[in-house]
Chains A and B, each alone.
Chain A
Amino acid sequence: MIDYLTGAIVILAGAALLLPLLQLSKRSSEKLPGYLLSLALGVAMVFLLMFTINPTQVSWSGNLIAPDKLGGIFALVTVGVTLAVALASIDYQKGPSNPVYYSLLAFTALGMVLLAYAQDLLLLFVSWELMSLPTYVLAGFDKKIRSNEASVKYAIIGAMSSAVILYAISLAYGLTGSTQISQVVQQFVNHPTALAGVATLLFVAGFGFKMSIVPFHMWIPDAYEGAPTTISTLLAAATKKAGFIAAIRVLLAITTIYVVTQSPLFTMANVFAVLAVLTMTLGNVSALTQKSMTRLLAYSSIAQAGYMLIGFVAFSNAPGSAAASLGLTGTIFHVINHSVMKGVAFLAAALVAMQLRRSDLKAYDGLARRMPLTAFTLAVAFLGLAGVPPLSGFWSKLILVLSVANGPYAWLALAAILNSAFSLGYYAWLIKRMYIDDPESTEKVKEPFWFVMVFAVMVGLIIGIGLFPQQVISFASSAASSFVG
């Protein structure tokens, strides 16, 4: 009997391969491929959920796949975001090449699922590429100048990051003679040579591109702005999280070595702490000055990556301690919350861009009177992203900050808290624009069915997890301990 994970993989691969066939039929409806992919993703999610609740060995995979809860959470989150994107695209994406669009989405989803479970560097790299290559095409799918520019820029930077990862893998294999992550890490920890440090830093850089960590973030605002906004949703809420699972699997295991030199300054925890504070500060400061919604969300997304890194700091600083467990739980929990909050914010921005044909911030003045559901969705998402209780983002930030609140990295906790307060500057300012400022025209704007459904589910998640966080937190906590144990 095949296990649920294999089932999910087969469904996603089938959708990816079979959807383009619809292109051959001249009479098929424009919306059919979107419905088919959503159905496939929905079924795949159910399978992944079954597998996560009751993980079994995957017989065919050898040592390639780690059937743990950690992978399950990331697979569920990324496929869930893809499902939201696919549903919203039913209203958003027009044109004859629809089947190809949805097929590319399916390929990306497949890549992200494999990546979530990968415990071998080669599978990790292959699924990384499987996830990334379709997104280069998708980013340019609008066939407009900006979209194409975004696509090319994203493809070049993406290829570079893949090359960096591959180089790191080759170094790791040269040093340890294995591509199994656990063995590579074991060897790195036992023989912390300078070259192992270099390989580690290359991993940080390679994954950092996808995770949108400063200083590897420059492509993010341009790509998010130029790409169709639904695809920006996918990039910000799903593929970015895939970068995080890769980093958790590879980098968090490497905790005790010093990077490059044996100086106590160059510990992994210090590297992560510096990256975290740079990322959140630069993201927030830049977000404040943006004039376009997609760019603002892009920078806010960068800032959020900085918060997620706090868990890495707590974990690397004292592996096995209570703070480490809190930190990893916080990171996983924030990954879940951020996917929902940023995903729905981007989708709302996509709807505004589609209906009003503009994405500058002026379009959002008085939005509450023109598109009340969209404005409410954005307001809840913004408050959640700022960490205002009792929304889901509050809890994950609380746990992240708690993990470093007392100890050598208390300054990082202070930085995170101040950043959070600072970020409310632009979030509250946008809410002010939507609810208090006057619109240029008071004409009501249509809010299509699938968008509203996706908004309702995701806003429900933000508020629901905020009020009753217990289930999701203990899920994240058990995923964290499945990684440690």
Chain B
Amino acid sequence: MSFVLSLLIALPLFATPIVYALFKVNRRLGIYGSLAISTVVVLITAYIFWQVYATPPAPGQYLFQERYSWVSFSYFGLDYLVGTDGLSSPLLFVSALLTVLAIYGSRKLIDHHEAEYYSLIFLFEGAIMGVFSSLNLILFYIFWEVVLIPMFFFIGVWGGPRRKYAALKFIIFTFAGSTVMLLGFLYFYMGMSTPTFDIPAIQTLLLTHQVPVALEYLPLLASFIGFAVKLPLFPFHTWLPDAHVEAPAPISVLLAGVLLKMGGYGFLRISIGLFPNASAEYAWVFLGLGLFSMFYGAVAAILQKDMKKMIAFTSINHMGFVLFGAYATLVSGNLLGIQGAIFQMFTHGLAVGCLFMLSGFIQHSAGTREIPKLKGLGKIMPRTAAILMLGSAAAMGLPPFASFLAEFMVISAGISASAFTAISILVPVLTAGYFLWMIKRTVLSPAEGGHDVHDMGWADVAGFAVFLIPLVVLIVASYLVLTPALPVAQFLKGLAS
């Protein structure tokens, strides 16, 4: 039995107190220690990612499976069960990578309670690794909830002026959503003839038609509420702009790059993976909601003055692609949809993570994030401006960034779903519109007033390059993500009877 995934979950969790102690000794030691531990985590996820690519598990199979009995009594059985496949391995990798980058950026942007801050980052990372590798619904739920606690403190303690309000709103919204999701799981469990919480076992039952289709509807609705809050989907998104605006920039990176992926992952792994028949029956509803969210996020982003809020709405727009692509495959049978959705989650994490981190740097050196007040960045802060242009290009899906390929795949699945959903091809136009307008106002405008702002150093530029280089590499080597994603797409499409 392999132990890699357990190591991956346990390492950050055990690092939590260690990093705290390191910071109490010395600040430099703490930061180098955090970077070292999180880099080891990246290497482990890279190994997992490579293994899943090299030997992609067959449809419905999982690599690195581990199972231990955890709780069982007369009518109740619960195992610790983890495993990974082409759906979760890219997310594990991108989450670990973004954690390193968030830590790297935090060294300049976080200036108080650092010991608590960095140790909570590791609690967050451990829980995220758990979410993406759990193959048991209750285990999944537990990690899912543990993610909330550090995020609550990140926003509440290290956030902006309205941080207290944003933190409470965030935790109540997401907790309410996820408890409803849990109820759906429990309803499903009690309704099965051979009750189990194990995802592979339930999928076997589904393939042999041992789960009544009527049982799927309510859990699908319940899980939809849980995941729609996280994704977030209009109209469950209202916590997101508040949380993003108040959160410090590195935490926004984790929020957008990692936390939102939990929603997209949940839709693929659980909504489609466990309730396939109900999902297929109502696929057009999800397709419509995803499409609406794409447009809504884009239009709302145009209206924003705060650069960070604009990027926050971009996330709503981009995550709409994930839902849209996933359900476009169910409607049309075109596998590009699910493959594109997985790819989109990967690229969105890096592109938007880069922009969020950048907004933190801009605020740090220019003192504001208001787009109308930022003028002449191209003259005053040439390196920052260059990164801003490249990051925007990545976010709007311009080649040679892999986001182009991801959006292209999702849209082509949308076109094969129906003539109406082909309208999704207009979304990238809107996205490009507001990004270019933002660049025109900030980078290309003439400079005004004081020149006392300072540009970022080359060390920071290197940090930003780490966000963008994988995107360029992946447009050439897209098979790294797409090859293992193919069996997942085939399996999810084939589940519905």
**Binary contact readout A378-419 vs B (1 if CB under 8 angstroms, 0 otherwise):** 000001001111100011001101100111001001100110
With CB as the reference atom, state the residue of chain A lying closest to B73. A477
Question: Is A253 an interface residue, CB under 8 A from the partner?
Answer: no
Question: Is B157 an interface residue, CB under 8 A from the partner?
Answer: yes
Question: Which chain B residues border A134 with CB–CB below 8 Å?
Answer: none
Please give the distance in Å from B215's CB to the nearest CB on chain A: 8
Asked if residues B183 and A413 are in contact (CB atoms below 8 Å), the reply is yes
**Binary contact readout B184-195 vs A (1 if CB under 8 angstroms, 0 otherwise):** 001111110000
Question: Is B291 an interface residue, CB under 8 A from the partner?
Answer: no
Question: Is B172 an interface residue, CB under 8 A from the partner?
Answer: yes
Question: Which chain A residues border B175 with CB–CB below 8 Å?
Answer: 386, 388, 421, 424, 428
Asked if residues B157 and A435 are in contact (CB atoms below 8 Å), the reply is yes
Question: Is A56 an interface residue, CB under 8 A from the partner?
Answer: no
Contact of A435 among B153, B179, B183, B188 (CB under 8 A): B153
Please give the distance in Å from A110's CB to the nearest CB on chain B: 32
Interface size class of B (residues with CB under 8 A): 35 or more
- Asked if A429 meets B70 with Cβ closer than 8 Å, knowing A326-B75, A410-B187, A435-B156, the reply is no
Asked if residues A437 and B164 are in contact (CB atoms below 8 Å), the reply is yes
Contact of B186 among A322, A413, A425 (CB under 8 A): A413
With CB as the reference atom, state the residue of chain A lying closest to B141. A389
Q: Please, how many angstroms separate the alpha-carbon atoms of A420 and B172 in the complex?
A: 10
Question: Is B303 an interface residue, CB under 8 A from the partner?
Answer: no
Contact of A417 among B76, B182, B190 (CB under 8 A): B182
With CB as the reference atom, state the residue of chain A lying closest to B157. A436
With CB as the reference atom, state the residue of chain A lying closest to B72. A470
Question: Which chain A residues border B141 with CB–CB below 8 Å?
Answer: 389
With CB as the reference atom, state the residue of chain A lying closest to B142. A389
Asked if residues A398 and B186 are in contact (CB atoms below 8 Å), the reply is yes
Please give the distance in Å from B151's CB to the nearest CB on chain A: 12
Asked if residues A417 and B167 are in contact (CB atoms below 8 Å), the reply is no
Question: Is B138 an interface residue, CB under 8 A from the partner?
Answer: yes
Q: Please, how many angstroms separate the alpha-carbon atoms of A394 and B142 in the complex?
A: 9
Question: Is A55 an interface residue, CB under 8 A from the partner?
Answer: no
A434-485: which have CB < 8 Å to B? 435-437, 469-470, 473-474, 477, 481
With CB as the reference atom, state the residue of chain B lying closest to A424. B175
Question: Which chain B residues border A432 with CB–CB below 8 Å?
Answer: 156, 164, 167-168
Q: Please, how many angstroms separate the alpha-carbon atoms of A325 and B74 in the complex?
A: 8
Question: Which chain B residues border A383 with CB–CB below 8 Å?
Answer: 149
Asked if residues B73 and A405 are in contact (CB atoms below 8 Å), the reply is no
Question: Is B71 an interface residue, CB under 8 A from the partner?
Answer: yes
Please give the distance in Å from A477's CB to the nearest CB on chain B: 4
Question: Is A180 an interface residue, CB under 8 A from the partner?
Answer: no
Asked if residues B149 and A388 are in contact (CB atoms below 8 Å), the reply is yes
With CB as the reference atom, state the residue of chain B lying closest to A389. B142
Asked if residues A424 and B172 are in contact (CB atoms below 8 Å), the reply is yes
Asked if residues B75 and A405 are in contact (CB atoms below 8 Å), the reply is no
**Binary contact readout B144-185 vs A (1 if CB under 8 angstroms, 0 otherwise):** 011011001100110000011001100110011001101100
Question: Is A78 an interface residue, CB under 8 A from the partner?
Answer: no
Q: Please, how many angstroms separate the alpha-carbon atoms of A414 and B219 in the complex?
A: 12
Interface size class of A (residues with CB under 8 A): 35 or more
Question: Which chain A residues border B183 with CB–CB below 8 Å?
Answer: 401, 405, 413-414, 417
Contact of B75 among A325, A398, A417, A420 (CB under 8 A): A325
Question: Which chain B residues border A435 with CB–CB below 8 Å?
Answer: 153, 156-157
Please give the distance in Å from A78's CB to the nearest CB on chain B: 23
- Asked if A405 meets B189 with Cβ closer than 8 Å, knowing A424-B175, A432-B164, A435-B157, the reply is yes
- Asked if A405 meets B187 with Cβ closer than 8 Å, knowing A390-B142, A425-B172, A432-B167, the reply is yes
With CB as the reference atom, state the residue of chain B lying closest to A399. B76
With CB as the reference atom, state the residue of chain B lying closest to A413. B183
Asked if residues B74 and A481 are in contact (CB atoms below 8 Å), the reply is yes
Question: Which chain B residues border A429 with CB–CB below 8 Å?
Answer: 168
Q: Please, how many angstroms separate the alpha-carbon atoms of A389 and B191 in the complex?
A: 24
Q: Please, how many angstroms separate the alpha-carbon atoms of A329 and B71 in the complex?
A: 14
Please give the distance in Å from A320's CB to the nearest CB on chain B: 12
Asked if residues B179 and A420 are in contact (CB atoms below 8 Å), the reply is yes
Asked if residues A406 and B187 are in contact (CB atoms below 8 Å), the reply is yes
Q: Which 4 residue pairs of A and B lie closest in terms of their CB atoms, listed nearest first?
A: A406-B190, A405-B186, A421-B176, A389-B142
Known contacts A329-B73, A388-B149, A413-B187; 17 additional CB pairs below 8 A are A325-B74, A326-B76, A383-B149, A389-B141, A390-B142, A401-B182, A402-B190, A405-B190, A406-B187, A406-B188, A417-B182, A428-B152, A429-B168, A431-B152, A435-B153, A473-B76, A474-B73
A residues within 8 Å of B by Cβ? 322-323, 325-326, 329, 383, 386-390, 394-395, 398-399, 401-402, 405-407, 410, 413-414, 417-418, 420-422, 424-425, 428-429, 431-432, 435-437, 469-470, 473-474, 477, 481
B residues within 8 Å of A by Cβ? 70-76, 138, 141-142, 145-146, 148-149, 152-153, 156-157, 163-164, 167-168, 171-172, 175-176, 179-180, 182-183, 186-191
26 contacts across the A-B interface (CB closer than 8 A): A329-B73, A329-B74, A388-B149, A394-B142, A398-B182, A401-B182, A402-B190, A405-B186, A406-B190, A406-B191, A413-B186, A414-B183, A417-B182, A417-B183, A418-B176, A418-B179, A418-B180, A420-B179, A424-B175, A425-B172, A428-B171, A429-B168, A432-B168, A435-B157, A436-B157, A474-B73
